[in-house]
A and B are shown apart, each in its own frame.
Chain A
């Protein structure tokens, strides 16, 4: 299925991308659709990118729905454990 459902947001941080180089990421795109590489009919796909640096400045993730939910929970758990004064 092509859900065409795409969620976009701005992010601030860095990612290790093509060629093993770090780059500053400015955008994230999240969608549930066919993967390019993962062996599943559909996956939750996340693209961290820096459009200003060109199409190749991208780190892509393709996760099964179950793995994506586990990731969401893990991220939330890690953030919940951080003292409030450190969250800035």
Chain B
């Protein structure tokens, strides 16, 4: 059993609310914050939501981190395009606009990291996690920001080849990987095609060549989005093992 960090409330009690914080360019953006009960010093986690938006399942992930003993914040990356809109409508607008520009993503995550470190409960350490498009954005953020741990859950287009004529403004992160400045945990489905096992192997080789601190796990029988409890892709065994690895990884790098 994974030992809970010192910030965890034995009862699992927590509070969650919506705040605003300064994002990229000083823009005010919305964010969902979940915090354990009590004033024990603890680490913080930035949860980067997936392309489908700042939705209920992502907020559940933020609350789970609070239950595990971390202050968690999930910035609404679509605050500018569609303030106050329902998550799926906001995601539709963002997708139609070509997605979230990388520079803006880094600025918004930087705002969330600063918010966490300024909390009276902060131990100064912050981790970042994202699934799907958020997985790629987690790696991106860890290449540009001083964070203490990063978890990439099946992020596509970190390596590989971007299909031509792609309307979304996305590039691989190969040229940015030398700047990766945090230990990286990667969790992937062996049956996934975005990222494919070959793309994961390419990333593994690049990080090995660069001498980076990383740990990858690929689950046989699991496809993309195996953590998503509300989708047919949910894979209990992979998700349970993945959560245990996340708990252990964060306890090691941002706990205490």
Contacts and interface: CB of A to CB of B under 8 A. Distances in A.
A6 B96 contact: yes
B12 interface: no
A29 B95 contact: yes
A40 B92 contact: no
A34 interface: yes
B132 A41 contact: no
B170 A34 contact: no
A55 B233 contact: no
Interface stretch (B19-27, B69-77, B160-168, B236-244): B160-168
Contacts of A5: 163, 166-167
Contacts of A49: 92-93, 96
B52 A34 contact: yes
A23 interface: no
A54 B85 contact: yes
Interface stretch (B34-42, B139-147, B223-231): B223-231
Nearest to A37: B88
Contacts of B91: 36
A2 B93 contact: no
B232 interface: yes
B137 to A, nearest CB: 12
Interface residues of B, number: 35
Contacts of B51: 2, 4, 33
Contacts of A31: 95
B225 A41 contact: yes
B59 to A, nearest CB: 15
Contacts, number: 79
Contacts of B223: 41
Interface in A41-84: 41, 47, 49, 51, 54-56, 58, 60
Interface string B89-109: 111110110010000000000
Contacts of A3: 194
B28 to A, nearest CB: 18
A54 B55 CA distance: 19
Interface string A1-14: 11111111000000
A7 B132 CA distance: 20
Nearest to A28: B96
A58 B92 contact: yes
- Give the residue among B55, B96, B166, B224 with the most A Cβ atoms within 10 A: B96
Interface of B: 50-52, 55, 81-82, 85-86, 88-93, 95-96, 99, 132-133, 156-157, 163, 166-168, 170, 192-194, 223-225, 231-233
25 contacts: A2-B50, A2-B132, A2-B133, A2-B156, A2-B224, A3-B194, A4-B51, A4-B168, A5-B163, A5-B166, A5-B167, A6-B96, A29-B92, A29-B95, A33-B51, A33-B52, A34-B231, A36-B88, A40-B232, A41-B225, A41-B232, A55-B92, A56-B85, A58-B89, A58-B92
| 9 nearest CB pairs, A to B | A55-B85, A55-B82, A1-B194, A55-B89, A4-B168, A6-B167, A36-B88, A55-B93, A47-B92
Given A4-B170, A47-B92, A55-B85, 5 more contacts: A4-B167, A36-B91, A41-B225, A41-B231, A60-B92
